[in-house]
Structure 1
Amino acid sequence: MTDLKTTVTLTSATVEKMSRHDMLEWVNSTVHGQYKKIEELCSGVAYCQMMELLFPNTVGLKKIKCNAKLEHEFLHNLKLFQAAFIKLNFDKSVPIDRLIKGKFQDNFEFLQWFKKFFDTHSAGKENLKVPAALAAATHNAPKPIRKPGAQPLTGAGASSKTATTKSSDILKTPKSGQQHDERIVSPSSLRVLQETQEELNKQTLSIELERNTYYKKLTEIEAILHESIKNEVYVDWCNRALAILYAVDDNAAPGDEEEGAEGYAAVTADL
């Protein structure tokens, strides 16, 4: 495998002197992003985009969860990012378990390393930036979900709705002066809903505990594999095992069907 210690200039004075604001400006300029904090890079989106920019077809932009908000979505993206290093035969372990926590120091230190890596491998490639049109498509934030029954307070939609309301739909005002609400839930129905919610909460907690248990085991296996590679013991076998660990199920993310046939078998084939 390629030793990144020799390919990345670790003594780069330029990167070491860059502040957090300088680093964010560089990231936003490169990917046309809107990141305001270093911690937001824990989503892995920017890293995947820049890796694809340096080495086309190593990540697959359609596989990136561009609106990642939850930890398991961050994990998905960072696994794609790690898989790219394996596919390129670079000996680099991404500290996924630390990055996804969204802590400033961990993310800033890794960003400093990646800036050096990016500068080293973008040498001779002028003005490397994610195309603006593609960046705009990958930064569309999901629209907020309106609660059932909620109505807009102002605007043409509100006035139009008011104008077209039938007289038969208008609720009569009770003598107390308070508007009557027909959506009253009976005590028995409320108890059933509460019991159902409690049961679902218990199931969710059980699933999360089981997930965390298996995740811990996998991270321990991952550490052993990297240690074995470092000591040059069963390197080929360990790389193949890591490729399986970092493989992403194409069926888990919408819009990945076109690349499903390619999958991550290509990772092991290139090792």
Structure 2
Amino acid sequence: MGESRTELLQWLNELLQINYTKIEQCGTGAAYCQIIDSVYGDLPMTRVKFNAKHEYEFIANFKVLQNVFKAKKIDKPILVDKLVKCKMQDNLEFLQWTKRFWDSNYPGQGYDPVGRRRGAPTDTPATIAPLAPSTRATSSAGLSATGSRGSGGKTPIGGRRPGSAQSNEALQALQGQVREMSTHMEGLEKERDFYFNKLRDIEILVQAQAEVLEAAGESDETLKKIQEILYSTEEGFEVPEGGVLDEEETF
């Protein structure tokens, strides 16, 4: 396929009526889902989050896509662990394949992307940029400041080095990345707590029912199996003395 990144983005935005500016933004999985929906028209779009901001939400979108691929017998591996990192090359290759698939299978009928999303928000996703570019920017700013000194190594009159503006910009970029990563971590912690609370509720229910059966001189193999799963540990993991796991160490 000969499309450039610009042409792919133009096709994607026109087809889905969105406003992506980078190939990397496809790493949320939402756009891939709706491209396939435009072909078949039966993908569960209510489960697709176009405004996903956290990696676990990206993975949920790709899970929807994987289920459709399986149901439609589409023989194409989806490298979710790579795509959700929002790297350009991985998503470019998958978007190119998706465009070829669409070209070969799109039935040609009119498609209403907004209607299929049922008015769900489609904020243009922000991707987490690697720290390396900002680090290089900081180094370049430092070199610029050093290189602009006079031959005697003194700072020019005025008390401010020419590289200070670049340094401030690099610092602000790093601070922005730290804030974005902190938000990402908060989302992961909320997800951990959500599933921990679910497991805790199941444990309490199972324990209560087991005690009732034990008092009646009975037992239930299914309850025993559930307890075995709940209390199982990975190889090499040791339960702290006292048999109680600290909540922070549960996941």
* TM-score normalised to structure 1 length: 0.44
Query: Higher relative CO (CA 8 A, sep ≥ 6), structure 1 or 2?
Result: 1
